[in-house]
Structure 1
């Protein structure tokens, strides 16, 4: 997650060169340390178009309703966007529109729900990060959302010996041989030969966890092991892969 100082530095460069920023902030409320992630629009309002949506923070996958906030300095784009969208999308389903109206009221119940979800996701993120470190897999501790980029440069020679020389081939090998579904780093602008993959730590029963830890804030790794079997199994499969290629 970019901090304020980093965003200010980026904003200065964008301002100097007249760069238009498209800021996708759909995960901004899934921040494990703050209520919201900082937005570059705070420092470069006139040149930033902000995107967001309903599905992530409210755990409403499939509720495909988003928004775009265009600054006054670029108000001429609004008519263009309206014309483009009207020719590209049909209207959002009425039930989703009503759900969005309620969601964006941000009442105390919803804020509490978001807070509890972040607590669970943050604990899972910490657990996954620590387990990956034990395996000497490159990664940065997640500060928000529910993904982590993982790298295998420490095992590149062993992986190449399997005839695998790209992140796409590595992702294919892991799903075929270890039933692990990860996205290749090339989908996120990493070089194919860098052997980076994206791991999502969301394969758990969220409703069950929310009910079990309704009044509990000190969730720890033992709770994750006991209540997130697919996540622990996935880590186990990664461990099996590393053990096999290191033998």
Structure 2
């Protein structure tokens, strides 16, 4: 049972419109989940996550939320690989979360739009372990590198067909269809084949090389940063520099963002945009400012058994690497 719309964001909005219950969002999380709920008038329950858990929801945290009112209907959003952290869940994590969700009859919205960009191609959906209560959300734009080509996909289990039907009724009054050129592009993308698999393999290889290199450089400078496992984001934490930054008049992640932009020319987003506390010195870093077509072509010339060298990354993906060098130099000046 599949519902297609002009972007997964539109489908998420419709789901919240037809499902009456609390929206449970782990923080940090993507910026549009909560605003959509507020527009509709739904109650949002934020679940703060911890640095030591790499900012991912734990089964214990989900159980604690459900235990307060076991009968209350809840829609819990999981996004992995994560925007803003680039982290993902292990199979063990997913099994444990699925067990808690099943016990408490939670509806899971598993936002897997970056699933095909797991850096080792090992993405596993939680629907494998809780199929009857999981809606899988995906789309065209991220894994295809097709930003602006808005086509979202929701996959429902038979037990939640009533939600699909309710969303389809509202959808018929809010949009007619996804634009025809995008439909043709989606048909080709979802047909798969060797060309698509080659594209994904090299995309993952490049993103893995950039993300790992940047994380190591930040770690070397003293920044706390979980190693990325997918997508193209990092969520560095500058807590180790709090005292020094405080002497510079920087006390919030918004302050830190502004000063980095003004003094290094590097643009990041504050953690508060993703639900983190303002006084937490966390930022989101996206590392896609490079010519993807040129890098993909060059990656084909490097044997598959060899990792991409620093020379390769510097030649074809220099902008994000240089930006991080400027951040590190600014921190340590």
- What do residues 53-86 of structure 1 show as CA deviations (whole Å, max 9, x unaligned)? 0011111111110100111111111122113333
- SS of the residue corresponding to residue 49 of structure 1 reads strand
Which residue number corresponds to residue 166 of structure 1? 252
Does the CA contact (< 8 Å) of 1:30 and 1:36 recur in 2?
Answer: no
Which residue number corresponds to residue 228 of structure 1? 317
Which residue number corresponds to residue 265 of structure 2? 179
Decide which of 213, 216, 220 is 1:134's aligned counterpart.
220
Which residue number corresponds to residue 105 of structure 1? 191
Q: Relative to total residues, which structure has the larger helix share, 1 or 2?
A: 1
Q: TM-score, with normalisation over the residues of structure 1?
A: 0.94
Decide which of 11, 14, 20 is 2:107's aligned counterpart.
20
Does the CA contact (< 8 Å) of 1:52 and 1:68 recur in 2?
Answer: yes
- What do residues 160-219 of structure 1 show as CA deviations (whole Å, max 9, x unaligned)? 222222112211221122211111112222222111001111111111111222131321
Which residue number corresponds to residue 77 of structure 1? 163
Does the CA contact (< 8 Å) of 1:167 and 1:197 recur in 2?
Answer: yes
- SS of the residue corresponding to residue 151 of structure 1 reads coil
Mean CA deviation greater in 218-227 or 129-138: 218-227
- What do residues 32-61 of structure 1 show as CA deviations (whole Å, max 9, x unaligned)? 22x341111111111111100001111111
Of structures 1 and 2, the one with the larger relative CO (CA 8 A, separation 6+) is 2
- SS of the residue corresponding to residue 234 of structure 2 reads strand
- SS of the residue corresponding to residue 21 of structure 1 reads strand
Q: Cα distance 1:241–1:84, how it changes in 2: closer, same or farther (>3 A)? A: farther
- SS of the residue corresponding to residue 141 of structure 2 reads coil
Q: Indicate yes or no: 2:138 matched with 1:31.
A: no
Which residue number corresponds to residue 53 of structure 2? none
Q: TM-score, with normalisation over the residues of structure 2?
A: 0.70
- SS of the residue corresponding to residue 120 of structure 1 reads helix
Distance (Å, rounded) in 2 between the aligned partners of 1:164 and 1:72: 52
Distance (Å, rounded) in 1 between the aligned partners of 2:103 and 2:146: 39
Does the CA contact (< 8 Å) of 2:290 and 2:320 recur in 1?
Answer: yes
Which residue number corresponds to residue 143 of structure 1? 229
Stretches of structure 1 lacking an aligned partner (at least 5 in a row): none
Q: Cα distance 1:86–1:184, how it changes in 2: closer, same or farther (>3 A)? A: farther
Distance (Å, rounded) in 2 between the aligned partners of 1:181 and 1:85: 36
- SS of the residue corresponding to residue 193 of structure 1 reads coil
Does the CA contact (< 8 Å) of 2:133 and 2:157 recur in 1?
Answer: yes
Decide which of 238, 246, 255 is 1:152's aligned counterpart.
238
Mean CA deviation greater in 130-139 or 220-229: 220-229
Does the CA contact (< 8 Å) of 1:55 and 1:63 recur in 2?
Answer: yes
Which residue number corresponds to residue 242 of structure 1? 331
Instruction: Give how far 1:87 is off.
Output: 3.3
Distance (Å, rounded) in 1 between the aligned partners of 2:144 and 2:230: 14
Instruction: Give how far 1:90 is off.
Output: 4.7
* CA root-mean-square deviation: 1.4
Mean CA deviation greater in 112-121 or 210-219: 210-219
